[in-house]
Amino acid sequence: MHQIEINAATKSFTSRGRDIAALSETNLDISRNETVCLVGPSGCGKTTLLNLIAGFVFPTEGSISVGGSPITGPGSDRAVVFQEDAVFPWMTVQENIAFGPRSQHLPNAIVEERVQRFLELVNLHDFRTAHPKELSGGMRKRVDIARAYASEPDVLLLDEPFGALDHFTKEEMWMALRELKNIEPKTILFVTHDIEEALYMGDRVVVMTARPARVHTIVEVPFGGERSLDLRASTTFQDLRLSITRSLMEVNSVQ
């Protein structure tokens, strides 16, 4: 059994009396502790797929199950890191990280332990009593990731989490998230429009078609768990980037 099973999922929205298909008969299985990156033309419905798995919206047709059971709504087994700044500005860093465990009514000792552990892992221990407004964009993203990890979900859904960061901060975040993945393995669905990001983060890269989105091609990424920034000099990396770029061009020209 796969951790996430998407069977012929279709999602259409009604806007001004017209049906708009965002996602069309999509099939995708994601194994436990696998990282799958979704790339595709902007506005193609990648986020719709993520929202379906998160349980914010429900499929018009088809089914999606996580851990063998169908999705009935959002839940702490699936944490989301959003593209927007979603860290609660009225809470300190440690209160943000504690929010998930406290929502699950865990005993204080466990909440404390998780807050400490993830503060260390994202290297924000010195800032635990700071409010988000006192942090840089990259640091706020780290709080967001720590908060998602601290509720110990089975699945992590990342919706272009580093889209608003500058390139160097972004590279720093890739490396950091990779290390975090090695220490605390999770099933991850990572929506991005950055091919390099997809190749650094993903075990597989799924190229989606233009709206309505469906799976176009799936690329296996053969780099294993240790990926350094030097990787992009390798010919395999270049070849993969080129082939994904080609798929994206193909997908875009159909539009």
CB 137 within 8 A of CB 165: yes
Question: How far is C-alpha 247 from the geometric centre of its chain's CA atoms?
Answer: 21
Structure tokens, 85: 């700044």
Residue 179 binds other proteins, judged by CB under 8 A: yes
Beta carbon of residue 55, minimum distance to other proteins (angstroms, whole number): 8
DSSP state of 74: -
Name which position in 9, 26, 38, 78 contacts other proteins (CB under 8 A): 78
Residue 201 binds other proteins, judged by CB under 8 A: no
Beta carbon of residue 88, minimum distance to other proteins (angstroms, whole number): 7
- The amino acid occupying position 22 is A
- For other proteins, the closer of residues 47 and 192 by Cβ is 47
Residues from 10 through 49 that contact other proteins (CB under 8 A): none
Beta carbon of residue 142, minimum distance to other proteins (angstroms, whole number): 6
Query: How many Å apart are CA 196 and CA 174, to the nearest integer?
Result: 10
E strands within the chain? 4-15, 18-30, 35-39, 61-66, 69-70, 78-81, 155-159, 187-191, 204-208, 215-220
Q: What angle (nearest 5°) sits at the alpha carbon of residue 176, between those of residues 151 and 95?
A: 35
CB 4 within 8 A of CB 64: yes
Write the interaction track for other proteins spanning residues 81-120; mark x where CB under 8 A is met and - where it is not. Answer: -x-x-x-xxxx-------xx--xx----------------
Write the interaction track for other proteins spanning residues 114-153; mark x where CB under 8 A is met and - where it is not. Answer: -------xxxx-xx--xxxxxxx--x--x----xx--x--
Q: Which residues contact 229 (CB under 8 A, 6 or more apart)?
A: 171, 175
Q: Which residues bind other proteins (CB under 8 A)?
A: 54-56, 73-76, 78-80, 82, 84, 86, 88-91, 99-100, 103-104, 121-124, 126-127, 130-136, 139, 142, 147-148, 151, 157, 172, 176, 179-180
